[in-house]
Chains A and B, each alone.
Chain A
Amino acid sequence: MAAAASMMPNFGQQISSKNDLVPDWTRQEVSTGTTIMAVEYDGGVVIGADSRTTTGAYIANRVTDKLTPIHDRIFCCRSGSAADTQAIADVVAYQLGFHSIELDEPPLVETAANLFRASCYRYREELMAGILVAGWDRRKGGQVYCVPIGGMLVRQPVSVGGSGSTYIYGFMDSNYKPGLSKDQCLELTAAALSLAMERDGSSGGVVRLASISEEGVERRVILGNQLPKFSTH
């Protein structure tokens, strides 16, 4: 291989690696190419995610949990690089836990979102992380904050993220109305995620849902064969 590389012109491919015969995906970074969604309702939020983690074309984990607790009533939905988002979530969970103990009261969702934004913006060149922060607090009830790649922060009543989100913007815009109930939000999220998982190769597996309110956090999993079906074949 070394002889060949010097004879032929460089095609811009990576002929450089001596370990060329180790499959490509063993050298790729682990990514949560994904679909995540968060919806506010009166009294809380509903969050959902698919469960696929990929290294290149290989699925490293088909039952990933991308809904990560940051505090008792605050979760984040992770998309982008698995390592980056796990590291940031750990850092923010620590910072928020410390802050909450200092204040001696449950932290605000806006605080958590700002902590994410601070890390994501400061290290924007090094990180690849798109995060939805969602939760419930006493001051403003259910809130969804979107912290995409680059470190913007904006509150939205409903937000989607990840590689599969592009396929469901239309579905979301046409089917979301303000004033939905919790169960309607759960149905909407499950349907949107199923549609995205159907079309996006980097999303798949099971649908993980969680609803966060004053009462607490309810988690559920919808397996592949139980997903809502849409007829397009």
Chain B
Amino acid sequence: MMQSLEPQAGGFNFNNCSRNSVLESGLSELGFKPPTARKTGTTIAGVVYKDGVILGADTRATDDMVVADKNCMKIHYIAPKIYCCGAGVAADAEITTQIMASNVELHMLNTGRPPLVAMVTRQLKQMLFRYQGHVGSSLIVGGVDVTGPHLYSVYPHGSYDKLPFLTMGSGAAAAVSVFEDRFKPKMELEEAKQLVRDAIAAGIFCDLGSGSNVDLCVITEGGVDFLRGYDKPTEKGQRGGQYRYKPGTTPVLTKTVTPLTLDVVDESVQTMEST
């Protein structure tokens, strides 16, 4: 199998430019317009701050060209103080987190101990590695356990990273740029919430695949604050004025009435079936 021996091709890939130009010229010949952008994807992010972890996500779920859910929940419960944001294939992310939640509950009962974020991450990555990337869920696991606040990202093929701030999904590049600019270790709560909100908003506005509202989940030693709909940056604004003018705004100077004489040329009746 030659696949594993192929060298890694990195850098920018411009192969699609020639394909696009051929497609566009070919399509216009046949009378079709080139396809417009379709929205799919997600922006999820997480940050470790002074007292714990803040997870954030956008709320748009798409089904090819249509927004299937304008306000879906991408932050899933795993344990009382461990939550998980899911990107990638929606069904895979949902089911994977549910399986994890169930395993964690059993583990807690078996060991008599509250779960560690590292334990959740290990189970996740072992399961995803077993499926060799076919379970297409990218997850950000964040929570507080006896050892402190932790944040992990887990990729569909089963690799993980442990970092103080993370973004995933199609809007990850937009969101991580906000983090790279303004992240500081041990931020205060309000500052950290604003930062995560701004990162998700960057994904909502700058990524075609994300939209609607910002959900936040603040996890600390004391408990969880699930802020559903923390910010709604895409809400339609209030119209400032009116384009409707009152009758009489424009004075009438002259009035000419021209009746149009119309003759009936043809009359036909078509009965409709109505049951």
Q: Which chain A residues have a beta carbon within 8 Å of chain B's beta carbons? A: 1, 3-4, 7-8, 11, 13, 15, 18-24, 26, 29-31, 33, 53-58, 60-61, 63-64, 81-84, 86-87, 124-128, 149, 163, 201-202
Residues B159 and A30 in contact, CB atoms below 8 Å apart: yes
Chosen A-B contacts, 14 in total, with CB atoms closer than 8 Å, are A4-B32, A8-B22, A8-B23, A21-B39, A21-B40, A22-B170, A26-B138, A26-B170, A29-B155, A56-B10, A81-B159, A82-B157, A87-B125, A127-B4
Tell me if A's interface is mostly helix, strand, loop or mixed: loop
Q: How far apart are the CA atoms of A29 and B6 in the complex, in Å? A: 14
Question: In the complex, A63→B16 CA distance in Å?
Answer: 31
Q: Is the CB of A4 within 8 A of B23?
A: yes
Cα A3 to Cα B27 in complex, Å, equals 10
Whether B37 pairs with A63 at a CB distance below 8 angstroms is: no
Give the interface of B toward A (CB within 8 A). 1, 4-5, 7-8, 10-13, 15-16, 19, 22-23, 26-27, 30, 32, 34-35, 37-41, 64, 87-88, 125-126, 128-129, 132-133, 138, 153, 155, 157-161, 163, 169-170, 172-173, 208-209
- Chain B residues lying within 8 Å of A124, measured Cβ to Cβ, are 4
Most buried by B among A53, A61, A124: A61
- A8 touching B26 by the CB < 8 A rule? yes
From residue A184, how far is it (CB to closest CB) to chain B in Å?
32
Choice from B13, B40, B125 contacting A22 with Cβ under 8 Å: B40
Known: A22-B209, A26-B170, A63-B163. A87 touches B129 (CB 8 A): yes
Pair A7/B30 contact, Cβ less than 8 Å: yes
- When distances are taken between beta carbons in the complex, the residues of chain A under 8 Å from B87 are 26
Q: Which of B4, B32, B170 contacts A3 (CB 8 A)?
A: B32
Q: How far is the CA of A29 from the CA of B128 in the complex (A)?
A: 12
| A23 near B173: Cβ-Cβ < 8 Å | yes
What number of A-B contacts does a CB cutoff of 8 Å give?
Answer: 110
| A29 contacts B157, C-beta separation under 8 Å | yes
SS of B interface (majority) = loop
Other-chain contact of B161, A56, A58, A61, A149 (Cβ < 8 Å): A61
Top 9 closest pairs, chain A to chain B, by CB: A82-B159, A83-B157, A83-B159, A83-B158, A61-B161, A30-B159, A1-B35, A22-B170, A87-B129
Q: Nearest Cβ distance between residue A79 and chain B, in whole angstroms?
A: 10
17 extra interface residue pairs, beta carbon distance < 8 Å, beyond A20-B38, A26-B169, A83-B129: A1-B35, A4-B27, A4-B32, A4-B34, A7-B32, A8-B22, A21-B38, A22-B41, A29-B157, A53-B159, A55-B155, A61-B163, A82-B155, A83-B128, A83-B133, A87-B125, A163-B7
Q: Are A149 and B5 in contact (CB under 8 A)?
A: yes
Chain A residues, Cβ within 8 Å of B158: 83, 86-87
A13 contacts which of B8, B19, B39, B125 (Cβ < 8 Å)?
Answer: B19
Chain B residues near A201: list those with CB within 8 A: 10-11
CA distance A8 to B27 in the complex (A): 9
Inter-subunit contact B208/A125 (CB<8 Å): no
> Taking each of A58, A60, A124, A202, which has the highest tally of chain B beta carbons within 10 Å of its own beta carbon?
A60
Q: How far is the CB of A228 from chain B (nearest CB, A)?
A: 24
Contact residues in A for B27 (Cβ distance below 8 Å): 4, 7
Taking CB atoms, residues of chain A closer than 8 Å to B16 are 13
CA A125 to CA B27, docked complex, whole Å: 42
Q: Are A58 and B173 in contact (CB under 8 A)?
A: yes
With a cutoff of 8 Å between Cβ atoms, the chain A residues found around residue B22 in the complex are 8, 11
Q: Chain B contacts of A29 at CB under 8 A?
A: 133, 155, 157
B62 to chain A, nearest CB (A): 9
Contacts of A33 in B (CB 8 A): 8, 10
Q: How far is the CB of A3 from chain B (nearest CB, A)?
A: 7
Within the complex, what minimum Cβ distance (angstroms) separates B49 from chain A?
Answer: 18
B88 CB to closest chain A CB (Å) equals: 8
A13 touches B15 (CB 8 A): yes
A56 to B32, CA, bound (A): 32
